[in-house]
Structures are given as C-alpha cells and as structure tokens.
Structure 1
Amino acid sequence: MPFPHPSHMDINSCWSGSTTILPGSKPFILYTGIDANGRQVQNLAMPKNLSDPLLKEWVKFSGNPVMTPPNGVKVDDFRDPTTAWQGSDGKWRVIIGSQSNNQGMAILYRSKDFIRWTKFQHPLYSSELTGMWECPDFYPVSINGTNGVDTSILNPSVKQVMKASFKSHDYYMIGTYDPQMEKFFPDTEFEGTSLDLRYDYGKFYASKTFFDNVKNRRILWGWINESDSIQDDIDKGWSGVQSIPRQIWLDISGKQLVQWPVEEIETLRSKQASINDKELESGSVFEVSGITASQVDVEVVFELPELEEADELINPDWVDPQLLCNDKNALISSRLGPFGLLALATEDLTEQTAIFFRIFRGHNRYIVLMCSDQSRSSLRKDTDKTTYGAFVDIDPRHEKISLKSLIDHSIIESFGGGGRTCITTRVYPQLATDRAAHLYVFNNGTLSVVISSLNAWSMNNALIVGEESFKV
C-alpha cells in the first residue's frame, strides 16, 4: 500500500497503525509518524479513490497530526494506534501505546468525527510491571462460541481482550470494559511472571487482529523476526516476515484464548502421509515419509497408556516452563516424554528442531509441558538457538495430547492442545534444507506412547494474487 512522499508529520518514518471502517464503508488509517522534531505523532490517511477495489493509493489528511504526545509522556513513547471502536454515544475511541512514570499504558482518545481527538483523563489500563507498551490491541470475544465479533460490539455475550507488546513478547488479559468509567478490568492482572498469558511463547511480536465480517471470525497476524546475524539481514536485503494468519477465539474455559491457522491454509495441501495406532517405544524415532519435509503441515495426536506413571513436578505454579524446557531438552529422558516431532532434521539427526511434550504429576492434577528445542537446529554458530517452552492447559486424563506444526523452511509455527499454546521458532539449518530435510516422530521417554493419528501434507507455495488477476 503506497503512501505519498513523506510529509512534515512523518518525515522521519511511518510506523504501525490500524484501519477502521467508518459508516458508508469508508476505511480510515490511523498511523504513527515520526515528525521533523523526532516526536511520535498520530496521523490520518484516507483512500484516494474508494471505487478502486484494491485501494492502492492513499491521501494523508491535511490537518495531520491528529494526536501529539500529551503532558507527562516522552515524545518517543507514544505510538501504534488500535482499530477504533464506537460507543453507544456515537463517539469513536482508540488507544495508543505508551508509558509514563515507569507505567506501561493504553492512553485513551475519543472523537465524534474521527478527526478531532481528545485525550481521556486516565488510561484505559496501566501497569507498573510491563514497561513501554507497543502495538496494543483491544477487542471483544464471544463467550458463546468461536465466531468473532465486530470491534464495537459491547454486550453481556462478550468479554474484552487487552493485548500489549513489551519485553519482546505479546501479552494479553481477558476482562470486562466499563464504557461509563472508560476502564478495562482484567480477570487477572499482569504479574510480570511466566504465568502471564501470551499469544505465542516463541518468536511472535507486534501483532494485530481484525474482524472478518464475511466469515464472522477474528484474525490475528504477528511479526516473526530473524534469528541470524545483522549482517545476514543486510546481505539478503530484508528482515522479518508475517506469521500465518490465525483465527482467534475465547476458550470454553473463559480463561484464555485459542488460536488456529485460518482454514484457507488447507488449500495449499498436496501429498499426504498418514499413520494410525502406532506404538512408540522408548527411544523410538520414526520418519514421516512421502511428503516434502521442508514445507509441510503436520497434525499428530498422542495417547498415553501409562499416564499415572508420570514423573512428579513439585509446585508447578512456581516453575518457569521455558527454563524447564531448557534444562530438560529433547535428549533428556523422563517417564512420559520427551515425545513429539523432529522437524527440519538431517537423516543422521545432527540437525533437528524438536517440538515435544513432557507430562508430569502435580497435586491432584497432571501438567503438560510443551517445548521447542532449537539447540541442535543448525550447525551454524551465528544463529539464535533459544529453547522455548510453556504449559498447556489441558487435562490428559480426559483429552489426548495434540500438536499441529506448520513448517516452512526457516519457520515452525506449532499449536499444542488444539491451539491453547502456540510456539513459533525461526531456525536456519545448514544441511536440512529443501529435499535434504526430514520429519520424524520420536519418543525419548522411558514409557511408551501411542500415535493415535498422524496426518502430514506437503504444502504448495502460496498464490500471491496481484492486481492483474484481481476479480470483483
């Protein structure tokens, strides 16, 4: 989407923003610009020609900026406006990411005409435990199903999600919004610990959602940055990609969100491999053959015949799951686990990225740990090989352990427990590339597990629809 040449209000760059559809199907973009004085300001842009189905050209509002850093906020701590929502009073509301006096916050602005904006007296929400908020998001989710709802919907059938990007991750809270007080009240506050809810526990940042009114769903996009050197980024001429779009909704428990790749991804599937009711004894490694392992969609479900034999985990609420995954990598055995997938692996397994589970016994419950171990992902020495981990909020006594991974050369997006826990990794194998890449199922636990079902599909390249093939 090309903008006109930089103006005085964004002469030093254009940053993140959001689009809001106003009555009459008129889209307006609010975005952050860095002006000639180095201030982060909020600017407005409109389509040049509404009859153009691709909206290729946009015009910047002559009265920009429409918002400037308020008193008490540093000029470089004021950015990333959300999609606006409209209250019952007809006024539009939008939040801007910021911090003041070491409190991360969502500053609230209101407007009758989407041009003249007034800062509300207090933030919609603030926290002393987060630092600067980037790319905030604020939207409703239905408590009655997986369908998304329009951003302006507010009634007893929805909860509100407040999301903020800070400390290199995307955190969120579920709660309620009081439009009279203009306050968000979370069910659980940010704690500044591993217990805080996150969209994704790997490389996934600065995300945004939008409401798809054609299929009644809310779609989430995230930024996956690089894990190799700055010089590599310079050499290839680009850095970072967008995630696969995910549908997002409120879990039936009401305690967290669930994510799953949008159904359109399935149109890219080609060759399929399937495995059913196969026992994986201790030390088993089984190749998934007949597919292109460097570009594959795989879904696997595990059964645990001896669940009660799982190792004990004392005080799981005090354990950082990422540190636990790092200490107990894919090569270290426990009774139930590690078991899962070895992605982008060489035939001799010298290169591999392990996405796996471990099961522990707690006090009157079981704990499911999901890990993504990149420590052997590449023979290269100059790449980030962080191991990621998170707990999965499922009860394996009543639900099988499931994993879906989308593997695309250097990106692995994994969804555990039907999408309750997501981990995205960025890996750069030196040998396990293209046709030299393999996909395995493994079990390094001392107890057997069973592959209840496994389905894997080679994935075709995405079809990029250009202007010449656009059809109304």
Structure 2
Amino acid sequence: MVPSVLPIQPQWCCLVSRDLINWMTLEPAISPSIESDQFGCWSGSATILPDGTPMIVYTGLNRIQGNDTNYQVQNVAYPKDASDPLLREWVKPDYNPIILPEAGLNATQFRDPTTAWKGPDGRWRLLVGNEKGQEGRALVYRSWDLKAWERAEQPLHSAITAMWECPDFFPVAAAGSEDALDLSSSSGDAVKHVLKSSLPFLWNDYYTIGTYDAGTDSYVPDDPAGDYNRTRYDYGTFYASKTFYDPAKQRRVLWGWVNESDTATADAAKGWAGIQAIPRKVWLDAGGKQLVQWPVEEVESLRGKPTTADVEVVFETPSLDKAEPFDPSFSNDAQKLCNMKGADVGGGVGPFGLWVLASSNLDERTAVFFRVFRAYNGRPVVLMCSDTTRSSLSPDLYMPRVAGFVDTDITDGKISLRTLIDRSVIESFGAGGKTCILSRVYPSLATGRSAHLFVFNNGEEDIKVQHLTAWEMNNAQFSE
C-alpha cells in the first residue's frame, strides 16, 4: 500500500493483544535502518515458519543513485529474541534485500509481499503486487531457503485493472464450512482459493474465488468474467485488508484499513490518519460464489447493558407484491442505484432499515437500509445501502451513498442486519454477513448521549421488526 505523505518515513508500529480487541502499544518494530529501506518501510506480511519462528517480509523504499526516482525491493526481518512473547525487537539479515525488481519490471509498482506458503515440491512461495501498463499482476516468487528467491515465468494471475496493491491469497474450505485452512491446504476438490487485491484510486478491495494449480502456480477464477465484475469485501470505506489463519479457533480473520476521505483541512483537524476496522471472521458461503464476513466473537466481550452500539435486527415483510421493477442496467452498479433511490426516496418494499447516529430532531442521521425489487433472473433483487448524505451539518465532509447487492433469498420475507456503531464508524453486515458496508461519519449533534437510533420504513409495504436487540459497547482498551 502506498502510505500517505507523512512527516516521518513510514515504519512498522507494533501492538499486541490477547483478544484482537484490547491492545497494548509497543515501540516501533521495523524502521528505516539499512540501504534497502532507507526511504521507508512499507507494507508486507508475516509467516510463521515450521519451527514457530515468525518471519516478516516487507517492502523497502530505495532510490536510484543520482536521482530522486523511488524503487521498491523486498526485505526480510526476524525477531531478535524469538522467546520474547511480545517480539519487541526485530533484526534485518545482511543478505537483504531478498527480492529485487528484475530488468523489465516496473520498479515503482512492486510491493506488498504476501504471507509465504510451502508448495508440494518443498519450495516456498509468496506473491508481490505489480503493474505492467494497465495490467495488475500477482507475481510469484519461489525459494528453497527463504534467502534466494526466483520469479516464476508467469504471474499467478493478472487482469487489466491497474496496480494490485496489498494482494492476499488463501484457501477456503468446502462451501458452507466455517472452518478455515492454512496456506498449506492447496489441493482437493473441496478447496477453493481467494485472490484479493486493493485497487488504488478506487480505494476498494476486490476478490475472486477460483482454483489454484500448485504445480504450475497458476490461478483461474471460477467466473470467467470475475476479474471485471469482482466482488468487494466491503462496499464502504475499507482498504488494504489482510487475512491471517488462527489455528487456535480454526478461523480466518480479515482486517481492513478505514481511511480518511474528507478535505485536507478536516482530516488535519481530526488528529489521525485512518483506523483499523473491527476484525472479521471470513468463510465461503454455502453457494460457493462469495465470502461471508462477521465480526470476531471477541467483540461481544464489550457488550454491556442493552442500549445502542451493537445492534442486531431482523426485518420481515409480509409480501413482495409492491416491490418496484428492477432496471437491469443497474446490475453491476449498486451504488448508482442507491444514489438515485436514497433513504428518503419512497418505494414499494423499502427503503427500510436503521437511522443511526441520529440527532433527536433527525437533522443529522445516517441510514443503513434495504430496498427490494421485483424478481430478476428468477429471484428478488435486494439492495443494501448506507446513506451518509445527512450524517453531519459540517460542509467540509465527504458524505456519500454507498451500496452493494445482497445475494440472499428473501422469498420468506426476512432479512437480518447487524450494525456496530462507534463515534465515527458504522460497520453493517447484511443477511448474516453476505454484504458488508463500513461508513465513516462525523456528526456534530448526534454525539455521546445525544446520539439516537431509529427504525424507519419509507416504503408502501408494511415492515415488521421481528427481532431487535441493542447493546451498549464498552471501550476497547489501548495502553502503552
């Protein structure tokens, strides 16, 4: 990931946690200190080796001698004392850099190495994001000893999408199983693979599901058009994400960055430059065509007395007869449809959902809602939106509508919504986590005890709240 312009060179900060929710801040772990990272230590990934030693491979920023052109290389670091449970200090072997951009590669778009895995031939592999012309690529590098790496002749996969930042590649178990797999699980009819990339300028994370051939180190999406109609992890503000395998709970955990999108003046006044979203468990849906995401169970430890902050609601509509017709020209553009039919535009079945971080007079409010359209291709079309256009009275803020379609069968009339609400973050999970939207908002009236929650319905069809539970959430703990 290309970091924002900072007054200091990018480095790796270090925090530790026992539960993914409460964190202790330590001193920086990896900072510019050698020739191959003298202008910055950028993104990378950790790999746990067979003996339990963690290895970090990261992108170092260097410059061509005699000019100011940046180029990127891959470096490795190991803990100075592997017995230290906090892994406070890291060392960089003198054989760095371990991967250089060969002649013919775009050395300024060559970064963000993935977690490494060992193939059936005993060699280690990792991916590096790259761009060639307008083609985004996941380059494969192989090594016997984790020191000398060679690039495979062909990328794992590529597509005309521009640079692939922060690639991630991992196996998922048979459709419908929530049990995760580590990276060594590379074969078998019940194993699929996920290839994810972050596209700069769009600032979104996209993924495809497909088949990995460990013999040729190639990946083919199940959907032939998948590279150009790719699914997003999140249809809101969510970027540069990374997953890891948790062997203790046999789950794969997804963590994404929530960046700032307002004016430079407004962002500077906040005093920070983005945060991390709540970690999510991720697995393959029973249909085998998309991933399902859900907040890690540890977040529930913050729940307190029943009030507002973690909201679970099930809506029920007795009939879909009043649903509006669906215009197929919007099939691949949920956001455009949401822009036309926001929370305040009346419909047939919906819009219905929640107004969150709302002031008592509703001058400020953020809507998270569903809208159901008549059957198209054999089933009703469900749109999920987050409408932040009235989230604040401040004129300097970015307040968009964002949306995604929900792959769910609503013929039984029921659909669920879970929403985590913080002072400036609204994370919503529709239909059990099939569609996720994270919105960043900065209300001026609806803060603290002045923030309210409402259920609303602006459609002709009556909507029943079959179930609604809300918990006050205690603060996560951060210490130094």
How many angstroms does 1:270 deviate by? 0.3
The match for 1:160 among 187, 193, 204 is: 193
Q: Secondary structure at the match of 2:171?
A: strand
The match for 1:110 among 124, 129, 142 is: 142
How many angstroms does 1:229 deviate by? 2.4
Partner of 1:418: 432
Map residues 443-458 of structure 1 onto 2, 5 A cutoff. Answer: 443-458=457-472
Q: Partners in 1 of 2:207 and 2:457 — Cα distance?
A: 33
- 1:230–1:190 Cα change, 3 Å: farther
Q: In structure 2, give the amino acid aligned to 1:388.
A: V
Q: Partners in 2 of 1:164 and 1:176 — Cα distance?
A: 16
Partner of 2:273: 239
The answer on 1:172 being equivalent to 2:207 is yes
How many angstroms does 1:126 deviate by? 0.5
Q: Is the 8 A contact 1:72 1:100 kept in 2?
A: no
How many angstroms does 1:308 deviate by? 2.5
Partner of 1:265: 299
Q: Is the 8 A contact 2:119 2:214 kept in 1?
A: yes
Partner of 2:112: 80
Identical-pair percentage: 51
How many angstroms does 1:188 deviate by? 1.6
The answer on 1:323 being equivalent to 2:354 is no
Q: Partners in 2 of 1:208 and 1:190 — Cα distance?
A: 24
The answer on 1:229 being equivalent to 2:263 is yes
Which moves more between the two structures, 180-189 or 412-421? 180-189
Q: Is the 8 A contact 1:4 1:59 kept in 2?
A: no
Partner of 1:285: none
How many angstroms does 1:236 deviate by? 3.9
Which moves more between the two structures, 87-96 or 309-318? 309-318
How many angstroms does 1:316 deviate by? 6.1
Partner of 1:288: none
Q: Secondary structure at the match of 2:335?
A: helix
Which moves more between the two structures, 35-44 or 15-24? 35-44
Q: Deviations over 1:181-213 (max 9, x none)?
A: 2110110245575x4201001100000000000
Q: Partners in 1 of 2:418 and 2:76 — Cα distance?
A: 40
Q: Deviations over 1:356-405 (max 9, x none)?
A: 00011024320110000011010000110110011100010146211111
Q: Is the 8 A contact 1:315 1:362 kept in 2?
A: no
Q: Partners in 2 of 1:162 and 1:243 — Cα distance?
A: 21
Q: In structure 1, give the amino acid aligned to 2:429.
A: F
Q: Deviations over 1:65-118 (max 9, x none)?
A: 111112322221000000011111111000000111321100000001111100
- 1:227–1:434 Cα change, 3 Å: farther
Q: Is the 8 A contact 1:411 1:425 kept in 2?
A: yes
Q: Partners in 2 of 1:5 and 1:155 — Cα distance?
A: 39
The answer on 1:90 being equivalent to 2:122 is yes
**What TM-score, normalized by structure 2, do the two folds share?**
0.90
Partner of 2:22: none
**What TM-score, normalized by structure 1, do the two folds share?**
0.91
Map residues 137-152 of structure 1 onto 2, 5 A cutoff. Answer: 137-143=168-174, 145-152=177-184
Q: Is the 8 A contact 2:41 2:60 kept in 1?
A: yes
Q: In structure 2, give the amino acid aligned to 1:225.
A: N
The answer on 1:211 being equivalent to 2:225 is no
Q: Is the 8 A contact 2:330 2:337 kept in 1?
A: no
Partner of 1:254: 288
Q: Partners in 2 of 1:83 and 1:189 — Cα distance?
A: 26
How many angstroms does 1:319 deviate by? 5.0
Which moves more between the two structures, 59-68 or 205-214? 59-68
Q: Secondary structure at the match of 1:306?
A: coil
Q: Partners in 1 of 2:286 and 2:330 — Cα distance?
A: 22
Partner of 1:405: 419
The answer on 1:435 being equivalent to 2:452 is no
How many angstroms does 1:6 deviate by? 2.4
Partner of 2:5: none
RMSD value over aligned CA atoms?
A: 1.5
How many angstroms does 1:152 deviate by? 1.6
Q: Is the 8 A contact 2:457 2:463 kept in 1?
A: yes
How many angstroms does 1:317 deviate by? 6.1
Q: Is the 8 A contact 1:356 1:370 kept in 2?
A: yes
Q: Secondary structure at the match of 2:301?
A: helix
- 1:205–1:248 Cα change, 3 Å: same
How many angstroms does 1:235 deviate by? 3.6
The answer on 1:336 being equivalent to 2:349 is yes
How many angstroms does 1:228 deviate by? 2.6
How many angstroms does 1:339 deviate by? 0.4
How many pairs does the alignment contain? 443
Map residues 386-405 of structure 1 onto 2, 5 A cutoff. Answer: 386-398=400-412, 400-405=414-419
Q: Partners in 1 of 2:479 and 2:171 — Cα distance?
A: 31
Q: Secondary structure at the match of 2:298?
A: helix
- 1:316–1:392 Cα change, 3 Å: farther
Partner of 1:56: 88
Partner of 1:282: none
Q: Partners in 2 of 1:309 and 1:155 — Cα distance?
A: 47
Q: Partners in 2 of 1:266 and 1:428 — Cα distance?
A: 24
Partner of 2:222: 187
Partner of 1:366: 380
The answer on 1:14 being equivalent to 2:14 is no
Partner of 1:313: 326
Q: In structure 1, give the amino acid aligned to 2:427.
A: E
How many angstroms does 1:155 deviate by? 2.5
Q: In structure 2, give the amino acid aligned to 1:6.
A: S
Q: Is the 8 A contact 2:319 2:413 kept in 1?
A: no
Q: Is the 8 A contact 1:316 1:362 kept in 2?
A: no
- 1:429–1:20 Cα change, 3 Å: same
Q: Is the 8 A contact 1:342 1:441 kept in 2?
A: yes
The match for 2:366 among 353, 363, 375 is: 353
Q: Secondary structure at the match of 2:231?
A: coil
How many angstroms does 1:435 deviate by? 1.2
- 1:22–1:188 Cα change, 3 Å: same
Q: Partners in 2 of 1:433 and 1:414 — Cα distance?
A: 19
Q: Secondary structure at the match of 2:472?
A: strand
Q: Is the 8 A contact 1:339 1:444 kept in 2?
A: yes
Q: Partners in 2 of 1:33 and 1:189 — Cα distance?
A: 35
Q: Secondary structure at the match of 1:323?
A: helix
